[in-house]
Structure 1
Amino acid sequence: MRLGWLKNLYVQVLVAVVLGALLGHFWPHAGESLKPLGDGFIKLIKMMVAPVVFTTVVTGIAKMGDLKRVGRVGLKAFLYFEVVTTGALAIGLLVGELVQPGSGLSVDVSRLDAKAIEGYTTASKSLTTVDFLFNLIPSSLVDPFTKGDILQILLVAVLTSVALSKMGKAGEGIVHALDKVGHLLFGMVGLIMRLAPLGAFGAIAFTVGKYGVGTLVGLGQLIGTFYGTALLFVFIVLGPIARWTGVGLLRLLRYLRDELLLVLGTSSSESALPRLLVKMEALGCPKSVVGLVVPMGYSFNLDGTSIYLTLASLFVAQATGTHISLGEELALLAVLLLTSKGAAAVTGGGFITLAATLSATGRIPVAGLVLLLGVDRFMSEVRALTNLVGNAVATLVVSKWEGSLDLERARAVLANPAAAQQLEPTPEAPAPDART
């Protein structure tokens, strides 16, 4: 019997996830000790994110040649992000009000150990819009590459692209060289991805071993509500949007199954960022659109995180018996529209954003976040999965909005993903003549 199917990455990761969960459940201490495997793999991937994003953005924009189009693509992406994430925040608020996942817990706030979240509340105090905007500017040209800050890398890449575009023929050699470097970097990513099953195995073993499936029982209603809401959002909201572009959601999910399983195993959507760039370009989206929309989406288009923020806020209010009126709920939504962007690139961003939001509203006790510590890891997987799907759909939308989505190629690739290797890259749409 042939076992060729074992060569597929998604099969290897799926097997690793199952084995890791079993090890963590039956031998929790052994599972906890495997944390370095997951952390090491994510660290390897993060090592590649900065140069991959930089080369992709620079070569994509420089080859496009039309700087007005760059601004137009960025503006369209940002408008789409704002509309969809606002919808995600509103859906989380609506479901939280209808299902009431925290009702009946009757938690006494005074008995909660607020020290457990001191690290998050301290970080949230400096989380302001002005700080966020200033943090977009790196302290040096190489600083974004050492820190891995995607937004700062995007800023440097855009500036580099504009400068190269203005150099004319002299800049073409640099663009060509960066294009070759990009191929080298993606080759390195391919080598690292061979370790994905090992990373997923260690990450899942640690999660189950440390927190245990028993923690799911106590707050099962919250977890179930969040999982259900995320699925509802993906199929009821993102599904029709994807269909509008001409790409079926189920086929898109099947196409991205390797990346989805990788995110499930590592609880980090960033672990799939380099491969998502390649997959969306192979699907028929222009490199210039992919290079702008995907990195921007990782900071501004966090659909799963948005659902979590409003749902978790209401859960804490309900669990602690804090009554909030409709006006206060709308105020909470307004604050989250700002704070959900402010912690985009911060480690532990979900908790920091929640702490900042609850502190800003002053109505829901921040100490109530202690209730979420035990199960947040289990919800982070669904947040990351929803974020990944949302960014893939956003790339399709902006590509179609620009009139540059190669739908014929997309259908061919979705029907036979291996065909993408034989197809030529999608050419950039011709730039309008600036003299007319």
Structure 2
Amino acid sequence: MHKQSRLTTYILIALALGILTGYIVHAKMENPVGFADSMSLLTTLFLRLIKMIIAPLVFSTLVVGIARMGDASEVGRIGIKTMGWFFIASVMSLSLGLVLVNLFRPGDALLGHMAATASAKVELATSSLTLKDFVTHLVPASIVDGMAKNEILQIVIFSLFFGSAAAAVGKKAEIMVDALDGVAHVMLKVTGYVMKFAPIAVFAAVAGVIAKSGLGVLSTYGVFMAEFYLGIVLLWCLLIFAGFLFLKGRVFGLMKELRGPALLAFSTASSEAAYPKTLEGLERFGVKNRIAAFVLPIGYSFNLDGSMMYCTFATVFIAQAYGIEMSLGQQMTMMMVLMLTSKGMAGVPRASLVVIAATLSQFNIPEAGMLLLLGIDHFLDMARSATNVIGNGVATAVVAKWEGELLEPGQEDEMVKDAA
């Protein structure tokens, strides 16, 4: 069995065993919360291992990719194409969330039951998402601090300057660029070691959540979750269709390569956890490293499709639960606000919830509505994270196609062999 397929199989088995174990513990053990806390140690350890990889991997691959592109005009051209795709995908994701929440109106089922919670407070740092703070946050005061905190957007900004300068210096920087290329390959090998721990982490994450909350957490808001997951499926179809327009039948091969990373993101509810394997999968698909290393990190800050769809869907859902009718104009304004604030999601704990809470306060919707989502947010985040992987994978492959940097079938194996 191919090692990628084997890992995917192990993760699926771990997912099923986690649900079963969590259910048994919740039903039989006297202290399921203690069990959940113990399991969280394994999940935390795995996510810390992943985060340990991200900063050096993003920096080395992005700098090497830019330095080997050559002149700044090429970087600018690819950047414009990348941001153009991200803008279209963002509008599509936000609009789909609005359309579906107005069509299904899931909040109406809770209408009249929310008055008692209207004055409750939710502890989320909404102030960190103002436009001023976001723009200031773009540039790191220290790249060491940015790397220490895994601030992907800051690492990307520094890497853009560093890679462009290396390209401008020319021959004198070649030794350094080659060294960073070596760092990138070493970090990908480290990724392989860390991924062997993934099934255990998936088992621990799912078992812990089910043990603590029971299967009831899946059924209490079953209708809302079902409608949101339907929206995720529709978004996947739109993303795959958009990819098909440019990649033709090869888009299905791309989905095969992204299956493992998407499943990992789904199981751990973390897009970051899937970043290294997504990069590897894109290179196996035929995307040249210099494109993948350039587009993918930017996508993790600017192209979180699943998270953006969730923001519009959840915000209007809360308004409906309080009987607050938002006009079309208000919803369009909200969509534009989310277009900006969602770009600061990367690296923010419970990012989507923070963005939603900030948006609620701007439209006079009770922030206590967040309490409706806290219990099931982990399961919603699983779908969001997997969708973010798919959206960024399609975007990277399409940009590579536009640039003529997508290898034909059969050539990918040679490229991966060289990178090994």
The aligned amino acid for 1:90 is: S
- Structure 2 counterpart of 1:27, from 18, 25, 28: 25
Structure 1 residue 371 and structure 2 residue 376: aligned?
A: no
Task: Using the TM superposition, give the Cα deviation of residue 421 of structure 1 relative to its aligned residue in structure 2, in angstroms.
Answer: 6.9
| Cα distance in 2, alignment partners of residues 89 and 104 from structure 1 | 23
SS of aligned partner of 2:99:
helix
Structure 1 residue 100 and structure 2 residue 101: aligned?
A: no
CA RMSD after TM alignment: 2.1
Task: Using the TM superposition, give the Cα deviation of residue 380 of structure 1 relative to its aligned residue in structure 2, in angstroms.
Answer: 0.3
Moved more, 195-204 or 280-289: 280-289
- Structure 1 counterpart of 2:361, from 359, 362, 371: 359
- Structure 2 counterpart of 1:152, from 142, 151, 154: 154
Moved more, 207-216 or 296-305: 207-216
Q: Percent identity between the aligned chains?
A: 38
- Structure 1 counterpart of 2:219, from 209, 217, 223: 217
Residue number in structure 2 paired with 1:404: 405
The aligned amino acid for 2:48 is: K
Residue number in structure 2 paired with 1:198: 200
Map 1:151-170 to 2 at 5 A.
Answer: 151-170=153-172
Structure 2 unaligned segments of length 5 or more: list them.
Answer: 27-31
Return closer, same or farther for 1:273/1:241 CA change in 2, 3 Å cut-off. same
Map 1:149-298 to 2 at 5 A.
Answer: 149-298=151-300
Structure 1 residue 43 and structure 2 residue 48: aligned?
A: yes
Return closer, same or farther for 1:179/1:128 CA change in 2, 3 Å cut-off. same
| Cα distance in 2, alignment partners of residues 246 and 4 from structure 1 | 25
| Cα distance in 2, alignment partners of residues 399 and 113 from structure 1 | 49
| Cα distance in 2, alignment partners of residues 94 and 243 from structure 1 | 23
| Cα distance in 2, alignment partners of residues 126 and 5 from structure 1 | 42
Task: Using the TM superposition, give the Cα deviation of residue 307 of structure 1 relative to its aligned residue in structure 2, in angstroms.
Answer: 1.0
Q: How many residues align?
A: 412
| Cα distance in 2, alignment partners of residues 360 and 190 from structure 1 | 44
The aligned amino acid for 1:13 is: I
| Cα distance in 1, alignment partners of residues 9 and 312 from structure 2 | 34
- Structure 2 counterpart of 1:8, from 6, 9, 15: 6
Partners of 1:246 and 1:407 within 8 A in 2: no
Return closer, same or farther for 1:167/1:206 CA change in 2, 3 Å cut-off. same
Structure 1 residue 77 and structure 2 residue 77: aligned?
A: no
Partners of 2:311 and 2:352 within 8 A in 1: yes
TM-score where L is the length of structure 1: 0.89
SS of aligned partner of 1:268:
coil
Partners of 1:5 and 1:11 within 8 A in 2: no
Partners of 2:271 and 2:389 within 8 A in 1: yes
The aligned amino acid for 2:376 is: V
Map 1:301-340 to 2 at 5 A.
Answer: 301-340=303-342
Deviation per CA, 1:404-431: give whole Å up to 9, x if none: 222334xx76xxxxx4676557xxxxxx
Structure 1 unaligned segments of length 5 or more: list them.
Answer: 414-418, 426-436
| Cα distance in 2, alignment partners of residues 116 and 271 from structure 1 | 31
The aligned amino acid for 2:341 is: T
TM-score where L is the length of structure 2: 0.93
| Cα distance in 2, alignment partners of residues 40 and 398 from structure 1 | 35
The aligned amino acid for 2:294 is: L
Structure 1 residue 58 and structure 2 residue 60: aligned?
A: no
Deviation per CA, 1:127-179: give whole Å up to 9, x if none: 21121111111121311111111011111211211221122211111111111
Partners of 1:222 and 1:315 within 8 A in 2: no
| Cα distance in 1, alignment partners of residues 384 and 346 from structure 2 | 13
Residue number in structure 2 paired with 1:428: none
Return closer, same or farther for 1:381/1:25 CA change in 2, 3 Å cut-off. same
